[in-house]
Structure 1
């Protein structure tokens, strides 16, 4: 996507002309997007296009970048004071009567912190969304606190951020940055972004990059040392702030924002498993979070009420999570766990009433939106229709939990071909359908995601009583490992969850091969009773699933017996095989 069709105007201020682009309805709330280094306003094109349906979106090339002119001389022409003059000139032109919602990335965020903390902009900013760029004043105080009261942890934080800031030192050297950007670095930069940052190729960066980067070096030279040495003591945000922190940022440590609440009392935190250039790699998520934050502040909702309060609300707020087998047990508990974290939830189950109940409860728990869908995961055509409907009506799934499964017990020769087909259709093919359809949508979107497949301790713990069930779960485990390897380069994580004995209704619905209906009923009741006495709750498995996504874990044994069997499978497999020969209680 590009800014094609945008309305363009020029704003004159401080001896420069700023190129300003506008999208959307001017009667709607105004969102101003400020780009970073070494970018131009086109870095925002993906986000801007998504916001334009709801807002009046304004982007401008910072002085000396893109189509805007550069100050003369360059030295002293990029101070935060002059950048603030530029911002005020732009907002006075595009939204003279109403405050604007400010969004900044990288150096766009650095200068936006100045805008939102100086007195002369009070009343002009309704909210601020910051990403990958701290306030230099806050940064200066952060350094001073750690130098004055050093501890091993604080010294480690200083050294860690110092290492991440290697490029800042180089940009302070005379002439060399300009020569590099106008020479080989400028030519190679698009390939570097694609290879290292996974930024999709296309209309970004623009041909003005070498000149933009050469001019932008003065952003560092004019501001960094002066502010870090003498940070302002009154750098308090006078508007609500939403902080978006990419967890894989190679240039900024998460620890930089540890004490941010003292400077921004109306603060909402968000995190993303992504690298630095999230306006290009995560535009859907950013657009959703910006939209939610702007609407909340336009409606006068207290900032603390705009997000869920669950443990992982900063990570999953607003994300789209689909859970199969969500009508009961582990699936329902998982839907609730993501709902508590503020995710939008799609509860999928073949039992429509159970799915609807899960969706209803998810909304009460904290999900901003939750829907129920009825489908049999073993039905390929039904799953294809579901995937198409979800993409059309709800969007591309951020987290997929393939949880639906059935139980089957009985010796190999007592298990018929029909038994095998049924258990493999649900336990394996249901997972394959989910991964193929929803995983493909994630991959095509190119913005990462996560797939969770519910396997079992039976995947690596053989049992003479569970040949079909164990085979299906072992296949799910290996499928997960293979997919994890294939999708790692696309930012999509894959986790296999391996519970042991969990107190769910799968025991009362599991089939027992080779016995009559009366005996099967007796064994179902006995199994349910034994699992009930074990009483390991599905909520603990749900917590493990959420943690697996946050930590991008590969294989997660959940219960003590599952963890023990996993260790035995690696270090004492003979003992595990001996246990497999034991007769199960009947």
Structure 2
């Protein structure tokens, strides 16, 4: 099985023949993708196709895998020294005289750490992107430090990683791994990946899987124990390194990389809410990060500035769309994502306000920011927006349905038209956003996150806010239902429930059952009260980013929102009594 449109060549080195595939323009910088265990080069097919639009992309089957031949004998034929010989032979064949950009996953990353830290490869590697595979030397020092200076935390880290490494012990047993892979495990492996890792099928894994896995067991036998016992003391990276850490990796702990800056001074960190096989499950995000890193390293104009805000490792380069972004919580949320290096789309029904937010986003660090004008209650307009965003900017990674309006007044004074207006924006606007952008996320199949701005009013009954509270309670329940439905697709859903936040919603809120003068008076009084509380929208924006990072379900923001949430769960009768009180007018 070959990569579609790839040019193949064979490279002979160290008694083996390596099958090498090339995509893209050879005049562009060369990106070499190295696969892991028990994979072949086809694990990279989705990422390679995306990178080939910009670079000369090279993939090769590691010795003994795919269509490359295996060394004879197998024992001693998979040492890191021999794998380094293979890499240099490939690099010299595909990019003579020009350094290559190296990308490795799993054991591809383990061996690539060797490539980027040994003296004989200096000048041949321009950059290295690592995912799901640590340096065995760094790992050895990590273990020795925790054994020689144990603390409860360090012992916990050792035990945690020891449990995650269960398969390494099995692979050191003689014969059994080969029998398992050539027998039932090899047949069931594709189904295991689909079920546990949500890995799509297609051209991966290839029919050579049982043989690849049997040969690849020698990667562990030839290297793990020798390097962990006697790690090199000079394993410093001589090229810039980008570390991509899948937060749901079942085989590697995040703590393995705690001291990585000591070994890789020019380090960029990225994190993904994904499991181990990110080349198959998150190809869009990986390709974007690799492209950005390669362009920056090449010395051309970077595709994004170095983000310095909180959670930059998580949101750098991602596409975030926020509705109601013209002011208040919406604008603060756009700017918070911009500071984290995200590309942002600021949506508001006020074109001038949306444009101003996008301009501010570019000033604080967004690599790209756009303004879009739409009324979220207009279904057709939202459909056109979703189509335009997907066509021009891409599929949204994070959606924040924030647009909303306020309405106060007794139920008996609230007209049908009042109800329609508040539900059209506060509820239907959220429904439209979730349905249209959520469907795009689901169809892409690479995860995402939806944040819906509800309110503490969603669970705090009040005689003066029947319409507003009902709309926000519906948003809260919608979020809970969506969270249950979309969890299996890797899409998180969070409901943000602010209390009294100092925004301009008070200046536009409507009061049912009163005349214009009285309505204006109540608006001014509400604005004064919110101003005295003076809880800034920026803190709500911080809560939004944390909710996405932690995949939180319901997030009360402000002390009164948190207190009200507790009361709604443990003392609902007291809340009902408070709800009967006449609010000060």
TM-score (norm 2): 0.99
- Whether contact under 8 Å (1:244, 1:270) holds in the other structure is yes
- Which residue is 2:20 aligned to? 20
Change (3 A) 1:139 1:306: farther
Contact 1:376 1:382 (8 Å CA) reproduced: yes
Which position in structure 2 is the counterpart of 1:385?
384
Q: Using the alignment, how far apart are the partners of 2:151 and 2:539 within structure 1? A: 36
Alignment match, 1:222: 222
Deviation at 1:390, TM superposition (A): 0.6
SS state at 2:377 partner: coil
2:295–2:302 Cα contact (<8 Å) kept? no
Structure 2 counterparts to residues 287-436 of structure 1, below 5 A: 287-299=287-299, 307-436=306-435
1:183: which partner in 2? 183
Q: Output the CA distance in 2 between the equivalents of 1:45 and 1:51.
A: 10
- Please give the residue correspondences for 1:18-57 in structure 2 after superposition, counting only pairs within 5 Å: 18-57=18-57
SS at structure 1 position matched to 2:394: coil
CA contact (8 A) 1:2 1:46 kept: no
CA contact (8 A) 1:293 1:306 kept: no
- Once the two structures are TM-superposed, the CA of residue 200 in structure 1 deviates from its matched residue by 1.2
- Listed as ranges, the matches of 1:123-202 within 5 Å are 123-202=123-202
Cα shift readout 1:127-175 (whole Å, capped 9, x = no counterpart): 0000000000000011111111111111111111000000000000000
Q: Write out aligned runs for 1:555-570 (5 A).
A: 555-570=554-569
**Is contact 2:292-2:302 (8 Å) kept?**
no
Shift of 1:302: 10
| Separation in structure 1 between the aligned mates of residue 310 and residue 432 of structure 2, nearest angstrom | 31
1:58-113 CA-to-partner distances (Å, cap 9, x unmatched) read 00000000000000110000000000000000010000021000000000000000
- Aligned residue pairs total 585
1:373-522 aligned at under 5 Å gives the runs: 373-522=372-521
SS at the partner of 2:411?
coil
Shift of 1:392: 0.6
SS in 2 for 1:173: coil
2:412 is paired with a residue whose SS is coil
Unaligned runs of 5+ in 1: none
Q: Are 1:11 and 2:1 matched, yes or no?
A: no
CA drift of 1:537 comes to: 0.5
Gaps of 5+ in 2: none
Q: Secondary structure at the match of 2:62?
A: coil
1:53, 1:429 → 2: CA distance?
39
In 2, Cα distance between equivalents of 1:469 and 1:531: 17
Measured after TM superposition, the shift of residue 307 of structure 1 is 2.4
Name 1:255's counterpart in structure 2.
255
| TM-score, scaled to structure 1 | 0.99
Q: How far, CA to CA, are the matches of 1:262 and 1:559 in structure 2?
A: 40
The residue number in structure 1 matching 2:206 is 206
Q: Distance in 2 between matches of 1:72 and 1:521?
A: 87
Q: Secondary structure at the match of 1:413?
A: helix
d(CA) in 2 for partners of 1:92, 1:71: 21
* Distance across 1 between alignment mates of 2:473 and 2:121: 61
How far off is 1:301 after superposition?
A: 7.7
Verify the 8 A CA contact 1:20 1:58 in the aligned structure 2. yes
CA RMSD of aligned residues (A): 1.2
Q: Is the 8 Å Cα contact of residues 44 and 279 (structure 1) preserved in structure 2? A: yes
Q: Is the 8 A contact 2:131 2:243 kept in 1?
A: yes
Distance 1:2 1:343, change over 3 A: farther
Question: 1:201 Cα deviation (Å)?
Answer: 2.1
TM-superposed CA distance for 1:306, in Å, is 5.1
In the TM superposition, 1:65-76 aligns within 5 A as 65-76=65-76
